[in-house]
Structure 1
Amino acid sequence: MLRARISGHGHNGPRNCCEWDSKTHTYFINEWDHFRWNVWTDCGFNAIYPQGGTWPFDRAGWCPGTKVDEHDFELTPFVHPGDSVSIDYGIEMYKDNGEKDGEYRMSHQLFTYGPPNFYLDAAIEDIIAPSSKDSYSRINPICSNPVVVIRNMGKVPLKTVTIRYGLKDEPGFVFEWHGKLEFLEKEEVVLPAPDWRDHEKSLIFEVQLLDPNMERDERPKNNFLSSTVLPPEVLPNKFILYIEPNNLGRERDNEYMLTDDCGSVVYRREEFASDTLFRDEIELLPGCYEFRLTDKVEDGMNRHW
């Protein structure tokens, strides 16, 4: 397996290479370009927020305060034990416009491993929501669908697994996952929403994997995981939402939506004006809602410094 960690830095040329320039990077295996990816990161959900400066802007492979993105590429289908293999790396061609003064800082690693230790081994790798982890703070707390990560650690493809989940010491829920994960492949799974009502304190959320491929898991040790449930904000059914953009002209690209637990839009504002206070009266039925403020060009509506 190949792993790449690459971050762009510098403000050179018309596209501000390489911090602000999305370029294609390539691994060549025996002179064939088998792996291509863009070194570019969406910083809008940066968990280290708020910050001063330009922290919301997307960057080449990193965001302020967070780790550099990792990209893993499985080499096994392209090599055979005992054979030699040529591995090369390339970056999208630079132009003669000052870009050459930008730079990429990078780490490339090659991992080798033997056959899988287990024939059938499904693992619960992470709980994204509900979670109290700082890295998931932008999407928590929740009152809707849990999101978990499962991985196949076994030799044979993982095609089915039973996911049992819910709050500790309370009746749980069951979800039957179907798909296909090869060895070491993983997938985010969105689970049906349980009933989060009447829980106004931090609780424990538990997830357990059962019966992968309708058989016995050879390594049950990695079948269970738990997380802390943070209670969401509880508002009265009537409230007033105030939004006031700065006098910068960037608010034209912003809008907000308030959606219910079925994804239906119940309130929406699609237009803002500079240096203007907007006062929206909101009235909601009891339930779970999500407020989302979006920006088409991802430059915010307030000053950066």
Structure 2
Amino acid sequence: MIPAPFDYTRPARLGEAVRALAAGGGEATVLAGGQSLLPMLRRRLTSSSLLVDVGRVPELRGVRETAGALVVGAMSTLHDIHHDPLVLRHAPLLATTTAMVGDPAVRHRGTLGGAVAHADQAGDLNAVVLALDGELVAEGPRGRRTIPAVEFFVDHLTTALEPDELLVEIRLPKLGEGWGFHYEKFQFSAQTPTTVGVAVAVRRENGGVAEARIGLANMGGTPLRASVAEAALAGADATEAAVARAATTAAEGTSPGPDPGAPPGYRAHLTRVLTRRAVLAAAGLRQRRTSLRTGSPLAEEEGQG
């Protein structure tokens, strides 16, 4: 299909981009990597009177560090993030997960800010930002403000950004010694959305689990934290049995939407299985696995449903 008519502007600086959004009167749309927006425009699933292409804005690219945080520019591509030494050092969960999104063409064009602002509940990177207690920095005519990830994702494809605000950077806390990370996902093919994704950060201390953070993709209208499982893991022994017990609670409080190929009960079971695997890997109790793309992920843990 052909998109509905729209105007187009390509600002060269951040201030120009903010002014262009404000001039759009709430009807303008930011074009980042375009991997989600352009197909939606072609199919007329969405429309816009003005596209503000921020691809040439230098202030939105790159990775830097502060005393306590890793700061990722919203227009940093997934390819660049995956290979960035600061990300590899301070946010290995993000580095690993970017390599599991789409294919090389998507990763060279797609951006972290575009993925987060799109707010797809099945987005792998949204679950990662949530699990890492990230913060999203927005800029608009009223200045800058920082939004915690837990408040950023409001509903399906809806964020806390105002219509005239632009996401400029993502801040992730530096997690020090004792932390382990892992991402597990299941999807039916590389071209289909993630059926269930589980992002895990675990801090071990004195032979036990001191803290766990678990972000879930595609288990509700937004990415979710598996708070019941996190509480069950905090203070637990770092053993396979303890992790298995906590993982049985991973789907509590979730509300997966309808999907003919993956009904809610099946996805809840996937959540328990993948949480168990991800926590074991993050805690160093099992060899790290690659993501599951095809076939049944259930055979290894048939008794864990």
TM-score, normalising length from structure 1?
Answer: 0.25
Structure with the higher strand share, 1 or 2: 1
